[in-house]
Structure 1
Amino acid sequence: MISLDFTDMVENAPCGYVSLSPGGRMEYVNRTLSGWSGYAADQMIGKPFNGFLTMAGRIYYETHIAPLLRMQGSFEEFAIDVVKADGQPLQMIANATERRDADGKPLSIRLALIRATDRRRYEQELLRAREAARTGERSAEVNLQREHDTSELREQFIAVLGHDLRNPLASISAGVRILDRTVQTEKERQVIAMMQTTVMRMAGLIDDVLDLARGRLGGGIGLNLDFGKPLEPVLMGVVDELRLASPGRIIQAEFNIERPVNCDGQRLGQMLSNLVGNAITHGSSSKPVIVHAETRERVFELWVSNAGQPIPQAAMDKLFEPFFRGNAHASRQGLGLGLYIASQIAKAHGGELTVSSTSEETKFTFTMPLSAEA
């Protein structure tokens, strides 16, 4: 049978051990705590336990630990800092129990203490990391809000600018029409025609800027749905206009719209104009541009195709972004908003605009669901 030396077990336990009188004075300190603190046992015995605590530890012990020990007889795993002989704090975790007689009168308080320097350091690192994460999150939220506010202000400015440009342009257009009635020479007629073309181009650019602002401000492009209005005449009118504007190009139109389409015809005409204009600009001049529209089952489909060089993959990923012009030459007209606006019109109709491009053909396809009324 193993002989146990209880004195050695207590004196050299892997934890500090203290016994206090009911009044809080130290009656016993084991060798372990004495070694940790740097005080000899006789320097501690007879003195108040709270006298060896930091100021914060003393307040915490007197206001929390001691009252709870009186009420419930024990208190577990509380943090407390002992001041060592060299004045440095010794961070500890303690368990305390109060021993009482049969009548409930306090006889002594026993504390077991373990060093918690590494644990406290780890806890503090966790707290710092959590605070850093919260600070980063708050910073990200502030930056996001600032970017949102800046973006909204910028796009509101674009919208206001677009509206303000309409008034002087309307005056110029009215003046050109008045001058057109009084032309006398062929040169004057050519100048007036050039001015009218320029006014129309400026009006188109302003419309594009306003559509950009509507799309980017969050509300999206507005629609005026007209379920009863035939769509084919609108699309054919766009094709005819583009044929007149590009007399050297062949534009073939194939329409098979047998069911009503609940849409904004003017907006779909605008989309078609942008897609065909893009095909004329970037497609092969010796091959026709093909426009096709049809209703089938529950879907309306409109596509525009052209021959020519395929669109590079790097450009495919950005085609529907505003102001993207690919490899367009500086002399080509436009702001690079046509495909972006076309995609926003598709989105407003609950549809989708997609693109495919090979060495044989580049095709933009718009599909949207037909209304149940159809």
Structure 2
Amino acid sequence: MTISGFIKEQLGPIVDEWVEFARTRVPLQHDFTREELADHARVLLLAIAADIEQAQGAQEKHDKAQGNDPENAPEVTRMARDHAAQRFVQGFSFDHLVSEFRALRASVIRRWTKQIDQARPDHLDDLTRFGEAMDQALSESASLYTRKVDDSRNLLLGVLGHDLRTPLGVVHMSASYLLRSDTLDGAQTKAAARILTSADRMSAMVKDILDFTQTAFGVTLPLSPAPADMGELAKTIVVETKTLVPECQVELFTQGELAGRWDGARIGQMLSNLLANAVQHGEKTEPVSVRVTGDGNHVSVEVRNKGAPIPQHAQKTLFLPLRQAPTAEGERRAGSSGLGLGLYITREIAVAHGGSIEVASNADRTTFTARLPRTPPPWKDRRSGASRGGKQS
């Protein structure tokens, strides 16, 4: 008997075994019915059986083996995704979801091989087709489940960040009011100043979290473009950085026509992140160089520092969120959230303007280069051509 025929004939016992296994994985706080635990097992198994019976050409066999075309078995894909969505709602963990597919595969193979008197070559073909169908179902199920976990996490972070803004605003305003009053003694003034500094740092964390969650959902950062001069924006950020870190040395060079239409606040955030990163990681005795250049329809900003080079492998993930180690308290720059989101948000700001950002690092220097069009393109075109990696020079 073929494995597809066996699945159809033994569908009831196989589903019963699936249910009993799922029951051992049920979250303690739930008491699901048999129908809830069986979920999509019956239709998934029938879809797998139908897929095995479908004739395949050489290219189809190759694509199936490589997992290149999930739509070559649309019912298997759909049922697997539906099952993942249901298990997510039911509170099953990712490990539990994967273990269900592992147990189902073992159950079918064990039952089918028991009734085989003598193995034939076509049995191996059957087993291969079953394994490929199960792999496809597991892959699609796992992919959807992890996306749901990511979306839920990002939504939680977004809601948390949004709701924290109001109480943080009250703390900030209250500390500022106390510092402006003349009723505090020395110790009380220091305490109020620490409250204000902590509130500023928490506000930076909230802002980074909100930016991260927005872009994590695939939404480009919103912009309010207005006429601006990149040279003047850079000059403002250089002055702010020198005020926050008086011991740092920053040299600003401008060249060409630097006017355009950008979101000044976002560009300031981008420049501040790049400059603060260079000040933090560069040699303390060497100046940081900021060079702003106008060239045709684009304006470029280079931020360069001397210091230890960024390893090649680290450059590949430099602009990815939450990949950098959180900054230690003693090393955190003023105004930084310390969450390791700065370069990620910097890249997203460049991308939102239709631009790109890249890094080049060697033993002599590290250079971050942001290149922006003078006018941001329409929203739907902003991610075209955006650079997401680094290069060694």
C-alpha deviation, 1:173, in angstroms: 1.0
C-alpha deviation, 1:352, in angstroms: 1.5
1:194 aligns with 2:198: no
Matched residue type, 1:335: L
Rg larger in structure:
1
Equivalent residues of 2:253, 2:290 under 8 A apart? yes
Q: Partners in 2 of 1:166 and 1:326 — Cα distance?
A: 25
Equivalent residues of 2:306, 2:364 under 8 A apart? yes
- Paired position in structure 2 for 1:23: none
Matched residue type, 1:141: E
Matched residue type, 1:284: E
- Paired position in structure 1 for 2:290: 291
Matched residue type, 1:197: T
Kindly report which structure 2 residues correspond to 1:118-157, keeping only aligned pairs within 5 A, or say none: 121-157=120-156
Ranked by relative contact order (alpha carbons within 8 Å, sequence separation 6 or more), the top structure is: 2
Q: Partners in 1 of 2:318 and 2:258 — Cα distance?
A: 31
Q: Deviations over 1:195-249 (max 9, x none)?
A: 22222221111111111111211113222222x2334333322221111000111
- Paired position in structure 1 for 2:216: 216
1:351 aligns with 2:355: yes
Q: Deviations over 1:286-324 (max 9, x none)?
A: 111111112111321011111112122232222112223
- Paired position in structure 2 for 1:76: none
Q: Which moved more, 1:156-165 or 1:259-268?
A: 259-268
The root-mean-square deviation of aligned C-alpha atoms, in Å, is 2.6
Q: Partners in 2 of 1:372 and 1:344 — Cα distance?
A: 13
Equivalent residues of 2:251, 2:288 under 8 A apart? yes
Q: Partners in 2 of 1:262 and 1:157 — Cα distance?
A: 34
C-alpha deviation, 1:330, in angstroms: 5.7
Matched residue type, 1:198: S
- Paired position in structure 2 for 1:170: 169
Matched residue type, 2:195: M
- Paired position in structure 1 for 2:157: 158
Equivalent residues of 1:234, 1:266 under 8 A apart? no
C-alpha deviation, 1:331, in angstroms: 3.2
Kindly report which structure 2 residues correspond to 1:313-352, keeping only aligned pairs within 5 A, or say none: 313-325=312-324, 329=328, 331-333=330-332, 334-352=338-356
Q: Which moved more, 1:364-373 or 1:351-360?
A: 364-373
Q: Partners in 2 of 1:238 and 1:342 — Cα distance?
A: 14
- Paired position in structure 1 for 2:82: none
Equivalent residues of 2:229, 2:258 under 8 A apart? no
- Paired position in structure 2 for 1:108: none
C-alpha deviation, 1:362, in angstroms: 1.1
The alignment covers a number of residue pairs equal to: 255
Q: Partners in 2 of 1:346 and 1:172 — Cα distance?
A: 32
1:263 aligns with 2:267: no
Q: Partners in 1 of 2:321 and 2:340 — Cα distance?
A: 6
Give the 3-state SS of the residue equivalent to 2:228 in structure 1: coil
Q: 1:231 to 1:202 in 2, by over 3 A?
A: same
- Paired position in structure 2 for 1:182: 181
Q: Partners in 2 of 1:166 and 1:131 — Cα distance?
A: 53
Equivalent residues of 1:251, 1:290 under 8 A apart? yes
Q: Partners in 2 of 1:327 and 1:158 — Cα distance?
A: 17
Equivalent residues of 1:183, 1:189 under 8 A apart? no
Q: Partners in 2 of 1:200 and 1:159 — Cα distance?
A: 19
Q: 1:371 to 1:174 in 2, by over 3 A?
A: closer
- More helix by percentage: 2
Kindly report which structure 2 residues correspond to 1:229-240, keeping only aligned pairs within 5 A, or say none: 229-240=228-239
- Consecutive unaligned residues of structure 1, counting only runs of 5 or more, are 1-119
Kindly report which structure 2 residues correspond to 1:100-115, keeping only aligned pairs within 5 A, or say none: none
- Paired position in structure 1 for 2:93: none
Equivalent residues of 2:262, 2:375 under 8 A apart? no
Q: Partners in 1 of 2:237 and 2:168 — Cα distance?
A: 23
Give the 3-state SS of the residue equivalent to 1:295 in structure 2: strand
- Paired position in structure 1 for 2:365: 361
Q: Partners in 2 of 1:301 and 1:279 — Cα distance?
A: 17
Equivalent residues of 1:315, 1:326 under 8 A apart? no
Matched residue type, 1:278: N
C-alpha deviation, 1:124, in angstroms: 4.5
Q: Deviations over 1:72-96 (max 9, x none)?
A: xxxxxxxxxxxxxxxxxxxxxxxxx
Q: Partners in 2 of 1:145 and 1:372 — Cα distance?
A: 34
Q: Deviations over 1:21-64 (max 9, x none)?
A: xxxxxxxxxxxxxxxxxxxxxxxxxxxxxxxxxxxxxxxxxxxx
C-alpha deviation, 1:122, in angstroms: 3.9
Q: Which moved more, 1:314-323 or 1:198-207?
A: 314-323
Equivalent residues of 1:152, 1:217 under 8 A apart? yes
